[in-house]
A and B are shown apart, each in its own frame.
Chain A
Amino acid sequence: MKKQAGDTADSEKKKIVIAVTALNAIDSPGPGVAVIRAIRECPDFDVRIIGLSYDALEPGLYMHDLVDKTYQVPYPSAGTDSLLARLLYIHEIEKIDLIIPNFDAELYNFIKLRDRLKKAGISTFLPDLEQFEARDKIKLYEFGQKHGLLVPADKVLYHAKDLKATAEVLGYPMVVKGKFYDAIIANTLEQAEKAFYKIQAKWGLPVIVQEFINGTEINIAALGDGEGNAISVIPMRKLYITDKGKAWAGITLDDASYIELARKFVKVTKWRGGCELEIMQTADGKPYIMEVNPRFPAWIYLTAAAGQNQPASLVRMALGQKVAPFKKYEIGKMFIRYAWDLITDITEFQSISGNGEHQDKKKVDSKVSLN
């Protein structure tokens, strides 16, 4: 049979146990639910999905058509040892084939544990630590300079007193950013100082101050095979943006320059896994890389809907299969996010918050009496 884009040499259907994080499908959503949805839609494999949660109220825990069972895991700040111990405990019960972590803040620990997880029989498909750190916000300008990619000038600051000198170089407006999340546009020194302290309080130091680039925001979801090949690239423009800057609706675009840019990024970094490039396209057509998120974006299901199922392709590569790069996708494919009130009862909630494990729904038989 002829091999098609996204197909593998061996497309035999088999049961795979996949653990996924970032089930917080809230107004600023994690990608986990979208990743699971895309994987479940792939007809080539039968999956059992294990949710890994940090909070008992992550909506994905209660989506029983997507997640079979959930376990709480320690917060990233607890370090790699406690994470490994917890994962090995879960592995003993579930026999996990693959873990797909989807939070920026947890990736460092998962990358550090990659070899030890592999030894235990758990695959991952993550960038190396060097690749992961090269695209860090703190080093992004340097990264762009090295590889001939357009990145706004920035300064990494540890003291608010350095804002004045920074403004003299970058000019106003400038963007004050946290090392993980958040960005505030400042038009005056007073605004910049206020933003600096606000971000420092929330995300700690350093704070990044970046040159303001005016233009149209484009997001690109890409999947690299770790050998320099981009298996899939899908550019998207946000059509509706929430007050937190998150896409509530978006559409796939047809622009070869975005595809080329993502291919170049994957090639120079030899990126392994999913990533999202945040681009600002200026009026004169210059694409500035504003950020590189080292994991799938929350809108990743759109890639599957447009004909390039990135999460499913990642699963195949993680399991050692060869995947051919996709060549086409549907242009003008849109997503519109929506909010939905899931109904559950206190029994389910106590199962995860009290035991750190959310039983398979059909196995939940103990009831909490409120009388």
Chain B
Amino acid sequence: MKLKKNIATSAEGFIFNPGTGDSFSTNPIGAEIISLLKEEKTPPMIIDTICAKYDIDPIQFERDLDDFKSQLVDSNILD
């Protein structure tokens, strides 16, 4: 789960793919995940970070992360 090199993001959750011209907006949690991906964190590290910060079930979050990942793949954001 690695972001493409040239993907531009903002703290507000705006994602721009300069290779395709597509842009997307995520909610604040999505923005945090993107920010962790930019730091080259792996999915287990992302799960640990988010679950430590918020009161959520890790299993549920793992499912949500998988779903988010497939959206990023469909949007051509990941390598």
Identify which of A216, A239, A254 contacts B18 (C-beta below 8 A): A254
Asked if B27 is at the interface of the complex by the 8 Å CB criterion, the answer is no
Asked if B45 is at the interface of the complex by the 8 Å CB criterion, the answer is no
Q: Encode contact with A along B1-41: 1 for CB under 8 Å, 0 otherwise.
A: 00000101000000010111100000000000000000000
Asked if A150 is at the interface of the complex by the 8 Å CB criterion, the answer is no
Contact A253 B20 (CB under 8 A): yes
Contact A332 B16 (CB under 8 A): yes
Tell me the residues in window 293-338 of chain A with beta carbons closer than 8 Å to chain B beta carbons: 331-332
B-side binding surface: helix, strand, loop or mixed?
loop
> CA separation between A237 and B17, bound complex, in Å?
12
Tell me the residues in window 227-284 of chain A with beta carbons closer than 8 Å to chain B beta carbons: 236-237, 239, 250-251, 253-255
In the complex, what's the smallest C-beta–C-beta distance from A260 to chain B, in angstroms? Answer: 14
Which residues of A sit under 8 angstroms from B20, Cβ to Cβ?
Answer: 216, 237, 253
> CA separation between A254 and B18, bound complex, in Å?
5
Tally chain A residues at the interface, Cβ within 8 Å.
11
Which residues of B sit under 8 angstroms from A255, Cβ to Cβ?
Answer: 18-19
Q: Encode contact with B along A66-85: 1 for CB under 8 Å, 0 otherwise.
A: 00000000000000000000
In the complex, what's the smallest C-beta–C-beta distance from B6 to chain A, in angstroms? Answer: 6
> CA separation between A236 and B21, bound complex, in Å?
8
Residue of B nearest to A283 (CB): B76
In the complex, what's the smallest C-beta–C-beta distance from B20 to chain A, in angstroms? Answer: 7
What is the interface residue range for chain B against chain A? under 10
In the complex, what's the smallest C-beta–C-beta distance from A51 to chain B, in angstroms? Answer: 33
Residue of B nearest to A250 (CB): B21
> CA separation between A250 and B22, bound complex, in Å?
11
> CA separation between A216 and B8, bound complex, in Å?
20
Which residues of A sit under 8 angstroms from B21, Cβ to Cβ?
Answer: 236-237, 239, 250-251, 253
Contact A253 B19 (CB under 8 A): yes
> CA separation between A46 and B3, bound complex, in Å?
47
In the complex, what's the smallest C-beta–C-beta distance from A134 to chain B, in angstroms? Answer: 30
Residue of A nearest to B8 (CB): A332
> CA separation between A332 and B21, bound complex, in Å?
7
In the complex, what's the smallest C-beta–C-beta distance from A153 to chain B, in angstroms? Answer: 26
> CA separation between A302 and B16, bound complex, in Å?
19
> CA separation between A136 and B56, bound complex, in Å?
62
In the complex, what's the smallest C-beta–C-beta distance from B15 to chain A, in angstroms? Answer: 12
In the complex, what's the smallest C-beta–C-beta distance from A283 to chain B, in angstroms? Answer: 10
> CA separation between A216 and B19, bound complex, in Å?
12
Which residues of A sit under 8 angstroms from B19, Cβ to Cβ?
Answer: 253-255
Residue of A nearest to B18 (CB): A254
> CA separation between A251 and B19, bound complex, in Å?
10
Which residues of A sit under 8 angstroms from B6, Cβ to Cβ?
Answer: 254
Which residues of B sit under 8 angstroms from A331, Cβ to Cβ?
Answer: 18
Sample of 17 more A-B contacts, CB < 8 Å, known A254-B6, A254-B19, A332-B18? A216-B20, A236-B21, A237-B20, A237-B21, A239-B21, A250-B21, A251-B21, A253-B18, A253-B19, A253-B20, A253-B21, A254-B18, A255-B18, A255-B19, A331-B18, A332-B8, A332-B16
- Sampled A-B contacts (20; CB under 8 Å): A216-B20, A236-B21, A237-B20, A237-B21, A239-B21, A250-B21, A251-B21, A253-B18, A253-B19, A253-B20, A253-B21, A254-B6, A254-B18, A254-B19, A255-B18, A255-B19, A331-B18, A332-B8, A332-B16, A332-B18
Q: What are the 7 closest A-B residue pairs judged by CB atoms, nearest first?
A: A237-B21, A254-B18, A251-B21, A331-B18, A255-B19, A253-B21, A254-B6
